[in-house]
Amino acid sequence: MMDFQTTQSKEWIEERYELAMERIKEIADKPELSSPFDAYFQTVSKFILFVNEKDTTVTLEEKQAKNHALYEDILPENYEHSYGNPTFAVKELGEEFGQLLCFLYAEIRTMIHYSYEQEPYFITILAELWIEIYNLFQQACSAKEVRAAIYWYVSDYSDVMSEYRIKSQYTPTKNVAKKILEQEDFSDIRYLYQYGEWIGENEIAAAMYLNSLPKEEIEEMATTFTKGFYDGYQLARLDMKKKKYVNIRYSIGFERIVAEAMKQFRDMGLEAVIYPEGKNTFHKNPNGRVGYLSTEPNRQYSYDHKHDQGIYLDKAMVERKLESLKEALKQCKEEASLFAGPAVMEVFGEEPFTPVNKKEAISLDETQKELNLSYRVKSGDMLNEALKREETSFTIIAYPIKEVGEPYEEIFHEVRKVNTLDKKVYQTVQEKIIDALNEGSFVHVTGKGSNQTDILVKLQELNNKEKETLFENCLADVNIPLGEVFTTPKLNGTKGVLHVSEVYLNDLKYVDLTLTFEDGKISSYTCSNFPTEEENRDYIKTNLLQNRETLPLGEFAIGTNTTAYQMAKKYQILRKLPILIVEKMGPHFAVGDTCYSYQEDHHLYNPDGKEMIAKDNECSILRKSDSSKAYFHCHTDITIPYDEIDKITVITKEGEIPIIANGRFVLEGTELLNRCL
């Protein structure tokens, strides 16, 4: 249980909890409603009671059975008949109530997390909402009344939920994960079931494989991780001694590495903050999962509930949420100022996911989309002010899970090699590429075969070639593995077509993704995922553009990690690799913010001592007058693999300098990169 106190006493919370559970037991025994609502309220009430039963499991088999029972209803094989499925809920409960009660069930399911965290307060307020809505149905309510109950639930508890989330993110509280990492014997994999998260083959296989490794190898992987964070501070010439807390985000099953990383960070003077991904409608991030987490039991379920806030989102609610966030940050002002940044350990290997768009799922209308974007911008500004992001750094690394394929342990070993390539070799090679790029005014990228890419990227201008650079030399300091040079392009003058035959962005698959740019901004877009152009455009707008009309090109980079590319080809896992590795395997283009959001004025230097000056573009520079127009709070990398590249050429005043031709590096001094191709 985290150290979190509400305005109500522990005894009063317990009394409310007991009263709620007694009432829910009555509903589970005999709901006094007509069909079909009797079945819904009885089924979900029984689930609530099951979640809140004391866990008496001891053996591994018992714990596995309990875990499966908690998530059984939303597993793919059962999902067609689950109240968590909006299609089923609307079919069974009607168009008037189906969406509302589907939303409610998804909220109730977050009790699993609070039960394992031993947080009776949050279980109680959910239980009371459940009883309130049941009572409404007893009175033959309207959908408007149910929606109002949900609305005021979100509004009334916005303060306490914001405070809870901010405290969990920026203070080293004792929660279940922290206790596991500090106290558990990882050789006994029963520890995995203490989280209450879905535990599948991926989590078990990762834990067992890491248990098989000697201590020295675990320490080595943790050092790669923590040193990347430390090097980020050195590269940015920041003083880490001013900071006290580092947030570690990881996937369940990797505890041996994370526990060792916690010790190493502590030796640096940083205490680890561990918090779970946002579960409920207050904390859920529709654009990505952030925190400690497991692989999802059903990605379609998560996709179906991506925009659940459409039930209640209006202008007043946005203002209420912003007010709550502001107060929560005020309460945690000192802790936030001591936050050093996130250390992120991603996993990859899941089978690519193409979602089904369901008309019954909750969606945002146009007004709500604008309100949501407004909230993201304003809340982002609040967080930046509190966290002083220009004084923080980060690191990110990725490892495979079992689902990546066989031989798993061999692939894992190869990924470790990719994550620890020789920096000195790549530093020299990448300096050759940067020197050539610094001579140019444009970079011209063209695809080959069926790839239709033909884009001109406008470069910014150098004032002093001896002391300045347009491209950063990425050498696995914060961004692991190494292997790219990147810049912020100038928007005016950047134009053309970016095309990728198949790409996975934020865990979603895109087929024949085509983006057209005019003056550095997306002017048109399409893909081939769905039968109609309308569906394809809506898919891109909702997920890639995040409901905007356009996004700018925030980054252009050339990846040099041909070793990673060779690994991907050897094991046929290219489509399963994370963008963190894929972006190092060819030229990539990021839509959204630059790589330097909120840190544009901080001085950065390449290993050769030259200062990186291409950090702003025509959008980000607006931060000086109106930050709402400067930042988009998204950054999505799109990579073209080497085998789809015809040429990458630097266009200078004197002529052209080829970097890549026919998918191979041809610039003098870079030929060694072709050994793996």
pTM, whole model, 2 decimals? 0.91
Domain boundary residue among 121, 156, 191? Answer: 156
Token reading at 340:
């050093």
Q: Are residues 147 and 64 in the same domain?
A: yes
> The domain containing residue 51 runs over which residues?
10-156
Q: Are residues 499 and 621 in the same domain?
A: yes
Q: Are residues 278 and 355 in the same domain?
A: yes
- Residue 28 CB partners (closer than 8 Å, separation 6+): 42, 45, 46, 48, 49
Residues in the chain with pLDDT values less than 70: 1-8
Q: Are residues 646 and 620 in the same domain?
A: yes
**578, 588 Cβ separation under 8 angstroms:** no
**3-class DSSP assignment, residue 453:** coil
Q: Is residue 268 part of a domain?
A: yes
CA 409 to chain centre: 26
Q: Are residues 78 and 198 in the same domain?
A: no
Tens of pLDDT, residue by residue over 557-588, are 999 999 999 999 999 998 899 989 999 999 99
Q: Is residue 310 part of a domain?
A: yes
Q: What is the distance between the alpha carbons of residues 534 and 543, in angstroms, rounded to a whole number?
A: 14
On the CB side of 126, how many CA atoms lie within 13 Å of its CA?
29
Q: Is residue 404 part of a domain?
A: no
The pLDDT, as a whole number, for residue 37 is 97
Q: Are residues 195 and 339 in the same domain?
A: yes
Give every strand in the sheet of 442-447, ordered side by side.
Answer: 521-526, 508-518, 490-505, 454-458, 442-447, 645-651, 656-661, 664-665
Residue type, 6: T
Q: Are residues 336 and 203 in the same domain?
A: yes
Q: Is residue 65 part of a domain?
A: yes
Q: Are residues 178 and 128 in the same domain?
A: no
Q: Is residue 403 part of a domain?
A: no
Q: Are residues 636 and 492 in the same domain?
A: yes
The pLDDT, as a whole number, for residue 437 is 97
Domain boundary residue among 156, 190, 210? Answer: 156
**594, 615 Cβ separation under 8 angstroms:** yes
Within 10 A of 50 (CB to CB), how many other CB atoms are there? 15
The pLDDT, as a whole number, for residue 539 is 93
Within 10 A of 121 (CB to CB), how many other CB atoms are there? 22
Q: Is residue 88 part of a domain?
A: yes
**C-alpha dihedral (66, 248, 346, 613), degrees to nearest 10:** 160
**3-class DSSP assignment, residue 533:** helix
The pLDDT, as a whole number, for residue 8 is 61
Q: Are residues 193 and 152 in the same domain?
A: no
Token reading at 297:
């039991």
Number of domains in the chain: 3
Q: What is the distance between the alpha carbons of residues 483 and 562, in angstroms, rounded to a whole number?
A: 8
Domain boundary residue among 114, 130, 156? Answer: 156
The pLDDT, as a whole number, for residue 5 is 46
Q: Are residues 349 and 301 in the same domain?
A: yes
Q: Which stretches does DSSP call E strand in 91-227?
A: none
Q: Are residues 14 and 138 in the same domain?
A: yes
Q: At what angle do helices 408-418 and 562-571 cross, to 10 degrees?
A: 170
Q: Is residue 412 part of a domain?
A: no
- Considering only CA atoms, give the Rg of the chain: 26
Q: Is residue 3 part of a domain?
A: no
